[in-house]
């Protein structure tokens, strides 16, 4: 990646991988982040590589009130 801080990635369809990056996280004071920092990148050509299937949470979530 042309940026220093990859934050997450997930597989799309048809051999695609989507990679998110941070904009200012980890940049030293007084420095500017790379121009593409904070972008989402799409990696293609991963035809034989697949992620694991998503599993939907079937439990209940507690309600939080103020």
* β-bridge partners, 59: none
Q: Is residue 1 one of the residues assigned to a domain?
A: no
Q: Is residue 59 one of the residues assigned to a domain?
A: no
For the chain, strand residue ranges (E) read 6-11, 17-21, 40-43
Q: Is residue 23 one of the residues assigned to a domain?
A: yes
Total residues belonging to the chain: 66
Q: Which two tokens stand for residue 51?
A: 């992620």
| Domain range for 19 | 6-43
Q: What is the C-alpha to C-alpha distance for residues 53 and 13, in angstroms, rounded to an integer?
A: 11
Q: Using only C-alpha atoms, what is the Rg of the chain?
A: 17
Q: What domain count does the chain have?
A: 1
Task: Pick 8 or 14 by higher pLDDT.
Answer: 8
**Tens-place pLDDT, residues 30-56:** 888 888 999 999 999 888 887 777 888
Query: What is this structure's pTM?
Result: 0.68
């Amino acid at each position: 990646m042309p940026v220093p801080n990859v934050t997450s990635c997930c597989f799309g369809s048809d051999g695609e991988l989507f990679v998110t990056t941070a904009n200012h996280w980890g940049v030293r004071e007084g420095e500017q982040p790379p121009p593409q920092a904070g972008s989402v990148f799409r990696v293609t050509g991963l035809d034989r590589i697949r992620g694991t299937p998503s599993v939907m949470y079937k439990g209940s979530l507690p309600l939080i009130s103020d």
